């Protein structure tokens, strides 16, 4: 069972190249290619603009290859990526194929592409079908993720695409293509407003589950903190993954954890991230 983590939070402090290096030296087996910064999205105006990021330059594939080589030289690889979101924004839509292509160039086999929060399984199926031929040509599977909607205090209180076991299964089965799989966000499933749990989601998804976003929260807010630091019962999560014989990566997405760190202390934070995932892996393997 291999562990990986997103590199976006560390990259904000030290850049993507150094982030991959730190992830390797901290003890992770793989890295998750964060691509959110391809778009500057304003959550107030709900408008995105193309960002000044290496993935938007003409040599974007060389950038992906460089990160792949850094990882390879240090004995780790890219296992998956996360495309920009939200997908109802034109700037984001314009970046998705490039994100999928860069995933393949970096060595990843899965690209997480959010569904449209407020669309039906049938509507989102049309969206994924528009991307699947290109993704297949790149040898990259797409993964949809369980989402949630907000109230005025930024809490999860409303249903959204894939937010219930029934909706998540329906999204996968409506597309009915082996190149669309499920990425379960453990934290999203555990917020009270979602009215479900990670355990219920895992059992419902079963063989459809091929990727994870692992992080902890207070069961109310989308905290994205290290496992075992807040309120989620990770023993129950590990047991459920064991029940379905999950064979994918254990991928950390505690991308708010490093907010209090600096470039100078970043590596210490990444080491803490690795320790939390090693603990979760040991818990899974002990069952």
Q: 20-63 pLDDT, tens per residue? A: 999 999 999 999 999 999 999 999 999 999 999 999 999 999 99
Q: 233 Cβ partners below 8 Å, 6+ apart?
A: none
Q: Tell me how far CA of residue 208 lies from CA of 103, 119, 143, 145, 244, in angstroms.
A: 21, 20, 10, 12, 10
Alpha-carbon distance 177 to 187, whole Å?
Answer: 26
Q: What is the predicted pLDDT for the residue at 157? A: 65
For residue 183, list its beta bridge partners: 145, 211
Residue ranges in 7-89 assigned as alpha helix (H) = 8-14, 16-26, 60-73
CATH 3.20.20.150 at 3-286, yes or no: yes
Tell me: the pLDDT tens digits for 190-228? Answer: 998 888 999 999 999 999 999 999 999 999 989 999 999
Identify the band that residue 250 occupies on the pLDDT scale cut at 50, 70 and 90. Answer: very high
Question: What's the average model confidence in pLDDT over 103-107?
Answer: 98
For the cut 80, the answer to whether the pLDDT of residue 244 exceeds it is yes
Q: What percent of the chain has pLDDT over 70?
A: 98
User: 167-181 pLDDT, tens per residue?
Assistant: 999 999 999 999 999
């Amino acid at each position: 069972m291999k562990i990986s983590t997103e590199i976006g939070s560390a990259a904000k402090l030290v850049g993507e190249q150094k982030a991959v290096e730190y992830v390797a030296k901290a003890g992770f087996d793989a890295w998750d290619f964060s691509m959110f910064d391809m778009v500057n999205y304003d959550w107030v105006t709900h408008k995105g603009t193309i960002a000044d990021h290496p993935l938007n330059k003409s040599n974007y594939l060389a950038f992906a290859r460089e990160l792949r080589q850094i990882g390879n030289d240090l004995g780790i690889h890219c296992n998956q990526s996360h495309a920009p979101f939200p997908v109802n924004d034109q700037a984001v839509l314009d970046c998705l194929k490039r994100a999928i292509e860069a995933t393949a160039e970096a060595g990843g086999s899965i690209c997480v592409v959010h569904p449209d929060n407020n669309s039906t399984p049938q509507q989102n199926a049309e969206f994924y079908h528009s991307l699947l031929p290109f993704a297949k040509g790149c040898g990259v599977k797409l993964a949809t993720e369980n989402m949630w909607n907000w109230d005025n205090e930024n809490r999860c209180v409303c249903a959204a695409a894939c937010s219930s076991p029934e909706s998540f299964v329906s999204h996968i089965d409506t597309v009915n293509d082996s190149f669309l799989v499920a990425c379960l966000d453990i934290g999203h499933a555990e917020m009270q407003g979602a009215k479900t749990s990670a355990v219920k989601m895992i059992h419902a998804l079963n063989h459809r589950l091929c990727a994870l976003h692992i992080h902890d929260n207070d069961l109310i807010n989308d905290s994205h903190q290290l496992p075992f630091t807040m309120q989620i019962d990770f023993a129950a999560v590990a047991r459920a993954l064991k029940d379905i014989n999950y064979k994918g990566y254990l991928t950390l997405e505690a991308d708010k954890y490093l907010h209090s760190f600096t470039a100078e202390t970043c590596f210490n934070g990444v080491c803490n991230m690795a320790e939390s995932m090693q603990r979760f892996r040991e818990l899974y393997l002990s069952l």
